[in-house]
Amino acid sequence: MLTPPDSTEADQSKAPSQPYPQPHRQHHIPTSKILSCVLCAQRKVKCDRKTPCSNCVKAGATCIPTVPNPPRRRKYRVLGGEEDLKLRLKRYEKLLLSFGMSIQELDSGVTAETRRPMTKAMDDLSIGGRVTASRDEQLWVPLSEDILEGSSDDEFLEVIPDDLLSSADESSFLFPMMALHIDLTMLHPSQVQIFQLWQAFVDNVNPLCKIIHAPTMQQKILQASGNLYDLSKPMQALMFVIYAFAVTSMNEQECERMFPGEHRSSLLTKWRYGAQRALIAADVVKTTDIVVLQAFTLFILCVRATYDSQSLLILSGVAFRLAQVQGLHREALLAKKTVFEAEIGRRLWWQLIVLESREAEMSRVSTLTDPRQWDTKLPANINDSDLYPDMREPPKDHNGTTEMIFCLLRYEVGQFQRTSPALNGSWQLFANQSIPYAQKEAVINSLESILQQKYLQYLDDVIPLHFLSLRVSRAFRNRLRLLSLHPRKNPSRTTLMSPHEKSTLFNLCLEIIQTDNDGHRKESIQKYIWHINAQFQADAFIYLVNELKAFPVGDSADRAWVQVLEAFNYRPELLSGGGMRNELVTAIGNLILKAWSARENAYVRMNQALPEGAMPMAILSLKALRIKPGTELMEFQGDFSSEEDLSQGQSTDAFHRSPQIVTGDGDDMTMDVNTVDWAYWNELIHNYTEAAATESAGGQDRQR
């Protein structure tokens, strides 16, 4: 039996009879409430509300249940009219002044239209330019009887409305709304479900992040799940983030099996809200607790597909600065920590380097990650079992693969950028069209040699994490080659490319799309699909389709159409819109239809049947969307000469809006691969739409 801890807080909320709340009860108000016994109420300690309760049993006292007050209809009202309200406000001002707080004179012109419940008014009251936080709540204890009739310390918000759950947004971190007393304990799942979510996080998410030590954290979660009412604020924040990230990594069917009757979207809404509220309660914007910073970092990674790029830029910048405050950016400061803390700090720092530089590139601003301002070493190539809190000597790196393989591959690329004399701290070499391709290829081969010697030679693609690591490594090298070959900086270069260069670029784009399809197709890495779904090489895809419009037949075209049509199976947002605006979906769809029409016409002229036989479902769907009345996706107006621009280089920075790869300007260090910022593509297509109205249709014929 768990013994409730003592508490001296006057507004201590009382725990329900179970050690954790059941999910199916959280949206229903209990028909009756079991109150604390008389002795526990007098002592102001938590009562387990059993008969007799554990506290009375230990004290050898008679346990007398508290008789509940008769139920009354709860309503908010102003007593005594407006004059009475003015008197009460004056009294509250005097009480505030008695505590030494300076406030501005309150406006007495309160009307019926602007009046709101007194509880919300008191919670929103600004004192000295700052909103009162939880630590100031004891100030209101003497006023509770006047403000709320029949209120008690049991009256925390027991049912969180759906509109409140969905109200949390990215701005809440910097400007939190503290208007409600919410007991977040009610949002925790059952103990069994906590362990199921933890296991999903360990299997699906942790191998790709590695900023927490799984064995140590598992023990903490085991202890915390047994007494959710005694959680520390940092631990509560981390647990809610783990719930949210675990559900993010699961599909609808997996969520239904784990939480019968609940939809994945509602689970995400609930636990992202809980994570945000818990982080705010933990003072995330000024924390010096590494657990809070770990939770905050995981939260940003979790909501990348939900928050806009500018908000993510701000939040990742806050996390980066918090890491600097905690000394994670200097080896001299890490040396003052324990071996365990220093190694976890290095893992967290490098993850933040990737995250902040990624978001900086998405927003096209300079990154905070100036290599001259930090010297943190790469994390050790070790397993979590090699690391424990009490160790005195640093662990030795393994020769070969460990649990850190995926993360280290990405970090090694960043380290190469920092230290390679040829790069001089940026990727601008590859975007510079005046530098011969052979020189760029030599740098790529040098990087490939380092990765092969340290990691790739030990990988076994039968192991899911190894397969994904090989895919990411190959995708990054191909992305550098695409940056070197793609004529984005010099549109006229398209006509100057040799047939060999054009063929190389076409095959490179085909390999990139095929690699992406392989990741979706392989069953063993479906647990990492949340990461793969965030990666899409849109520039390669568009260049490939544009070439298919110009060269619709042949063996290369046949192979390319197989991959393009398969990509539609894994990228339904290309049909339905998903998170993209209609202009982008329509533009890509029109490009596909024009390329397919060119293919059909070519086979008609040759008097041959299409190799695909019947019209593919993706093409049928795209056509249906353009003729169905009332559809969201309306026909794109204009001759779309901008489709030529997509392959000839007028997209310039758009392709390098891809946040996890090199930037067109080469100033930022990014170590992820293949992500595309759909919001920026919306702007791109809009600009092309305007260009299409003034530019002539078509373009020069190109020969491979």
Question: What CA–CA distance (Å, rounded) separates 218 from 484?
Answer: 45
Q: What is the pLDDT of residue 557?
A: 92
Bridge partners of 37, per DSSP, are 65
Q: How confident is the model at residue 419 (pLDDT cuts 50, 70, 90)?
A: confident
Q: Please name the amino acid found at residue 545.
A: V
Q: What is the pLDDT of residue 486?
A: 74
* Residue 460 or 581, more confident: 460
Q: Is the pLDDT at 552 greater than 70, yes or no?
A: yes
Bridge partners of 130, per DSSP, are 127
Give the three-class secondary structure for 432.
Answer: coil
Residues 119/147, Cβ–Cβ less than 8 Å: yes
Q: What is the pLDDT of residue 393?
A: 93
What are the distances in angstroms from CA 175 to CA 172, 285, 553, 663?
Answer: 5, 10, 58, 32
Q: What is the pLDDT of residue 674?
A: 37
Residue 42 CB partners (closer than 8 Å, separation 6+):
none
Q: What is the pLDDT of residue 211?
A: 96
Q: How confident is the model at residue 170 (pLDDT cuts 50, 70, 90)?
A: low
Q: What average pLDDT does this structure show over 536-540?
A: 79
Q: What is the pLDDT of residue 181?
A: 56
Question: What CA–CA distance (Å, rounded) separates 316 from 498?
Answer: 43
Bridge partners of 126, per DSSP, are 131
Q: What percent of the chain has pLDDT over 90?
A: 36
Give the domain ranges of the chain.
Answer: 37-64, 399-496, 502-626+673-703
pLDDT tens figures, 109-146: 444 444 344 334 334 433 333 333 333 333 333 333 33
**DSSP codes of every residue in 275-305:** HHHHHHHTTGGG---HHHHHHHHHHHHHTTT
Q: What is the pLDDT of residue 372?
A: 78
CA 218 to chain centre: 22
Q: What average pLDDT does this structure show over 322-334?
A: 95
Q: Count of CB atoms within 10 A of residue 461's CB?
A: 13
Give the pairing of strands 126-127 and 130-131. Answer: antiparallel
Q: What is the pLDDT of residue 19?
A: 41
Burial class (CB in 10 A: 0-12, 13-18, 19+), 113: exposed
Mean of the per-residue pLDDT values for the chain? 74
Range scoring the smallest mean pLDDT among 255-259, 266-270, 575-579: 575-579
**DSSP codes of every residue in 113-176:** TT---HHHHHHH-EETTEE--GGGGGGGGGGHHHHSTT--TT-SB-S--HHHHTT--GGGGTS-
Find which of 239-253, 464-478, 644-658 is predicted with most confidence, using mean pLDDT: 239-253
Q: How confident is the model at residue 252 (pLDDT cuts 50, 70, 90)?
A: very high
pLDDT tens figures, 179-229: 445 678 889 999 999 999 999 999 999 999 999 999 999 999 999 998 898
Q: Is the pLDDT at 324 greater than 90, yes or no?
A: yes
Q: What average pLDDT does this structure show over 277-285?
A: 91
pTM check: above 0.75:
no
Residues 11/119, Cβ–Cβ less than 8 Å: no
Q: Token digits for 349?
A: 């720092």
Q: Is the pLDDT at 147 greater than 50, yes or no?
A: no
* Residue 219 or 51, more confident: 219
Q: Is the pLDDT at 351 greater than 70, yes or no?
A: yes
CA nearest to 208, candidates 413, 22, 393, 404: 404
Question: What CA–CA distance (Å, rounded) separates 600 from 486?
Answer: 28
Q: How confident is the model at residue 317 (pLDDT cuts 50, 70, 90)?
A: very high
Give strand ranges (E) for 363-432: none
Q: What average pLDDT does this structure show over 680-688?
A: 44
Q: What average pLDDT does this structure show over 641-665?
A: 34
Question: What CA–CA distance (Å, rounded) separates 410 from 660?
Answer: 10
Q: Count of CB atoms within 10 A of residue 253's CB?
A: 9
Residues 530/204, Cβ–Cβ less than 8 Å: yes
Q: What is the pLDDT of residue 226?
A: 87
Residues 345/334, Cβ–Cβ less than 8 Å: yes
Give the three-class secondary structure for 663.
Answer: coil
CA nearest to 285, candidates 175, 371, 429: 175
Q: What is the pLDDT of residue 541?
A: 87
Residues 598/549, Cβ–Cβ less than 8 Å: yes
CA nearest to 669, candidates 678, 660, 677: 660
Q: Is the pLDDT at 171 greater than 60, yes or no?
A: no
Q: What average pLDDT does this structure show over 255-263?
A: 94
Q: Token digits for 62?
A: 């008679």
Q: How confident is the model at residue 483 (pLDDT cuts 50, 70, 90)?
A: confident
Find which of 125-129, 387-391, 438-442 is predicted with most confidence, using mean pLDDT: 387-391
What are the distances in angstroms from CA 606 to CA 548, 561, 603, 613, 702?
Answer: 17, 18, 5, 15, 21
Give the number of residues written for the chain.
704
User: Would you give the DSSP letter of residue 442?
Assistant: H
Range scoring the smallest mean pLDDT among 309-313, 408-412, 495-499, 544-548: 495-499
Q: What average pLDDT does this structure show over 301-324?
A: 89
Burial class (CB in 10 A: 0-12, 13-18, 19+), 670: buried
Q: What is the pLDDT of residue 98?
A: 65
* Residue 659 or 423, more confident: 423
Q: How confident is the model at residue 487 (pLDDT cuts 50, 70, 90)?
A: low
Bridge partners of 127, per DSSP, are 130
Q: Is the pLDDT at 638 greater than 80, yes or no?
A: no
Q: Is the pLDDT at 21 greater than 70, yes or no?
A: no
Bridge partners of 131, per DSSP, are 126
Q: What average pLDDT does this structure show over 1-24?
A: 42
Residues 567/517, Cβ–Cβ less than 8 Å: yes
Q: What is the pLDDT of residue 123?
A: 41
Question: What CA–CA distance (Å, rounded) separates 659 from 675?
Answer: 6
Q: Count of CB atoms within 10 A of residue 102's CB?
A: 9
Q: Token digits for 676?
A: 């595309």
First to last CA, the chain: 76
Q: What is the largest CA-CA distance in the chain?
A: 98
Give the three-class secondary structure for 440.
Answer: helix
Question: What CA–CA distance (Å, rounded) separates 175 from 627?
Answer: 46
Residues 298/246, Cβ–Cβ less than 8 Å: no
In the block, which residue shows the tokens 């490319």? 497
Residues 11/64, Cβ–Cβ less than 8 Å: no
Question: What CA–CA distance (Å, rounded) separates 631 from 696?
Answer: 29
Q: How confident is the model at residue 437 (pLDDT cuts 50, 70, 90)?
A: confident
What are the distances in angstroms from CA 444 to CA 429, 437, 448, 499, 571?
Answer: 11, 10, 6, 22, 30
The CATH number corresponding to 37-64 among 3.30.70, 4.10.240, 2.60.40, 1.10.10 equals 4.10.240
Q: Is the pLDDT at 604 greater than 60, yes or no?
A: yes
CA nearest to 243, candidates 215, 216, 278: 278
CA nearest to 546, candidates 483, 487, 496, 500: 487
Q: What average pLDDT does this structure show over 314-328?
A: 94
Long-range contacts of 325-328 (CB under 8 A, 24+ apart): 325/288, 326/288, 326/290, 326/293, 328/352, 328/376
The dihedrals phi and psi of 77, each to the nearest 5 degrees, come to -155, 155
Question: What CA–CA distance (Å, rounded) separates 436 from 453?
Answer: 27
